[in-house]
Amino acid sequence: MSDAQTSPRSFYDEVGGHDTFVRLVDVFYREVAADDVLRPMYPEEDLGPAKERLTLFLEQYWGGPTTYSQNRGHPRLRMRHAPFHVNPDARDRWLRHMRTAVDELHLPPLHEETLWDYLHRAAFAMVNTFEPTKGS
Query: Which DSSP string corresponds to 23-38?
Result: HHHHHHHHHHTT-TTT
pLDDT attached to residue 95: 98
pLDDT attached to residue 2: 52
Contact 66, 60 (CB under 8 A): yes
Going by C-alpha positions, the residue among 67, 64, 43 that lies closest to residue 53 is 67
The rounded Cα 77 to chain-centroid distance in angstroms is 11
Distance CA 27, CA 112 (A): 15
- pLDDT higher than threshold 70 for residue 5: no
Contact 87, 129 (CB under 8 A): yes
- State in words which class domain 13-126 has: mainly alpha
Global pTM value: 0.89
- pLDDT higher than threshold 80 for residue 23: yes
